[in-house]
Structure 1
Amino acid sequence: MKTLSLKLYFSLVILLCFACKNAQNKTNIHFVITDTGQDKFYNDDGEKIAKPSETDEYYGQDAQYVGKLSAYKDNDDGTITDLNTGLMWQKTPANTRYNFYDAFTYVEQLELGGYTDWRLPTIKELYSLLNSNGELHPRNLEQSKPYINTNYFDFNYDKRMPFAGQYWSSTKYVKGPIQNIEIEGAFGFNFADGHIKAYETGLYYNGERGVRNPGNYVRAVRGKENVYGVNNFIDNRDGTITDQATGLMWQQVDDGNTYNWKESLIYAKNSTLAGYTDWRVPNTKELQSIVDYEKKTIPAINENFFNCTNPDSWFWTSTTQGDFKYTACYIAFGKAYSKDNSKATTYYDWHGAGAQRSDPKSGKVEDYLLESINAADSIRIKNYVRLVRTIK
């Protein structure tokens, strides 16, 4: 009996130590979300306005809140170190487009700065380089600014297709096929026009070859994997969720209403959820940080902690889209719909749940149905809101 009790005692001690170690490891999960860089204020029409006061209707947009500023170091060996995230990046990418699977071969064979452990970045790592002061002028590239800090990173527009500045991430789209012919997709970020979407990998969703695949560019990264973008959620049991990895507190369940952009800012300003009065609409980097890209079902969010009242939902950010300043960025937590062209009638999950697109800030859908021979995104005008606040 004493022997059994002793064995049980030591077993409990071992289990307790293991649990403590796991808890400690989880507590150490941390990554820095840097500011988007947006430093101008805009109204619904995309016009620049003066910095709004708290009583003004456009108060609470991206530029109102300045977060951790981006900081880089040029290592003078073809590499750039992000001083906030610790990730090291390729300064000058190859001027070559690769299909998704060939991109892995390229980074595995890359030797740069004396390092050989280069890899494709995840979509969250890649998006960490976003600078929201970008702006594309297809007919005047000299006036254009890519969505990346060109004081440190080299970027060249494709003069034939200036909008085609997409770079691969390693993140596959696992929630289903994209487009209208059952294509396998993987996420990339377009540093020319500032959008995330799922691109063709070169395979059909069932694994067969034969998809037309224009390919994307590659900007290699090195650094510890499974750190940047890994969340550490805590349920506060008061309608809020804290991500200990980022120091952000989130609204657990959206209020079930959709708003135009200006209304979303007002809703956030007036919220007293859980007794706090400093709620805001998240900027685009903040909201993208809680996307669950690995989950195989929609919505693209961890449903052990969060709830979307409409699983097929898009959520506003406070960030104005640089190319079309009458629009603001949203993150699609449901399917990111588009269609073959503006005359087509059927929408498909073209860009993938977890994509970042933009919607007009106000008005009527029919006011924005532009003629296009290319894919035409679905337009909603009114989107959902998931509030955020920074833990002091």
Structure 2
Amino acid sequence: MTVHFQNSRRLWLASLAAVAGSRILPRLSASLHIPAPAQYQDNGDGTVTDTISGLTWQQTDAGEMTLEAAQQYAEQLQLGGYTDWRLPHPMELFCIMDHRLHGPAMNTRWFPATAARYWWTETARPDSREKYWQVNTGGGIGAHAKSEAIGAGGENPVHTRCVRGPSPWGAGPRLQKNTDGTVTDQVTGLVWQQQLNSQAMTWEQAQEYCRELSLAGQSDWRLPTIRELRSISDDRLAQPSLNPDFFSGADSVPCWSGTTQMNRPERAWYTDFTSGLVTYRDKTERMQVLAVRGSNPLTAEPT
């Protein structure tokens, strides 16, 4: 009887997960000790669906082009039976990068390697409209002048990969300031330390600081993944890009993530909240810290 009940419960929860969608499935899978599904699904028509975000991606990028050509290409693209393709939001594109990999930092099982060094996004830097955010093959994000693309007379091979579907990072209120010294991101559910730590520290010291932090009655604080940390950089803002309406002491400073650079373990990734730049430094250098707790498949490191 007990075995029959457990099997029935397992089947019921699995069915519930299928109905509720991919955002609940990882939590159910963990509680049932069954494997979560692969993050990507090859649709067999030149597209790949991210089963976590629900976004559908152009599988092979469209090659090097200027920003204006990329925008026109996206408007005219017909692929997989759809015509509503667009250039991606910076976080959409950043979240298909895999920082466990290098050269490129992207899973080529789903996204074939090309000659790309950068990919266009839809978003300009707010304090310099000639610069658009690009994600690079190494796994970073930077705002580069449109004129740096090869097609515009520059030297950078900037390629185009289109996406379709409602964006989890779209417009609308996301952050909620709590009364206990924390901020909740209502998209990811992550809870953030509200006060930016003002003392610069090494990566190891930052890890220890988070482990020892007791805040809002909780002690399970940690350094954020690089996806998590970049997710709170507001692309509508600059100097700082960390919204001071929600984060006390927000400043144009770099903050450590807990993500180690795959091919250089003495380095770790960070976000510079001057603008939202993502790159890496030696772990012995000193930067600020913003602790987080909770988890969400959207911003978790791939497994």
- Report the TM-score when normalising by structure 1: 0.62
Contact 2:101 2:107 in 1 (8 A): no
Q: Percent identity?
A: 35
Contact 1:124 1:229 in 2 (8 A): no
CA distance in 1, matches of 2:108, 2:170: 24
Map 1:167-206 to 2 at 5 A: 167-176=119-128, 184-191=130-137, 193-202=138-147
Give every structure 1 segment of 4 or more consecutive aligned residues whose post-TM-superposition deviation is greater than 3 Å.
210-215
Matched, 1:244 2:186: yes
CA distance in 1, matches of 2:183, 2:37: 25
Map 1:1-392 to 2 at 5 A: 71-94=39-62, 96-136=63-103, 146-156=104-114, 158=115, 165-176=117-128, 184-191=130-137, 193-202=138-147, 212=154, 214-225=156-167, 227-228=168-169, 232-295=174-237, 297-308=238-249, 311-334=251-274, 353-362=275-284, 381-390=285-294
CA shift digits 1:285-333 (9 cap, x unpaired): 11111110012x4110222111335x22000000011242211000010
Alignment CA distance shift 1:280-1:229 (3 Å): farther
Contact 1:265 1:281 in 2 (8 A): yes
CA distance in 2, matches of 1:276, 1:112: 48
Q: CA deviation at 1:69?
A: 7.7
CA shift digits 1:268-300 (9 cap, x unpaired): 0000012210000000011111110012x4110
CA distance in 2, matches of 1:214, 1:328: 25
Identify which range, 210-219 or 119-128, moves more after superposition. 210-219
SS in 2 for 1:234: strand
- Residue type at the aligned position of 1:305: F
SS in 1 for 2:199: coil
Q: Output the aligned Cα RMSD.
A: 2.3
CA shift digits 1:227-268 (9 cap, x unpaired): 336562221111101112111000011121111100000000
Rg larger in structure? 1
CA distance in 2, matches of 1:238, 1:382: 28
SS in 2 for 1:288: helix
CA distance in 1, matches of 2:240, 2:153: 27
Alignment CA distance shift 1:69-1:385 (3 Å): farther
Contact 1:99 1:215 in 2 (8 A): no
CA distance in 1, matches of 2:110, 2:266: 29
Contact 2:213 2:219 in 1 (8 A): yes
Q: In structure 2, list runs of 5 or more residues that go unmatched.
A: 1-21, 27-35, 297-303
Provide the residue aligned with 1:348 in structure 2.
Answer: none
SS in 1 for 2:229: helix
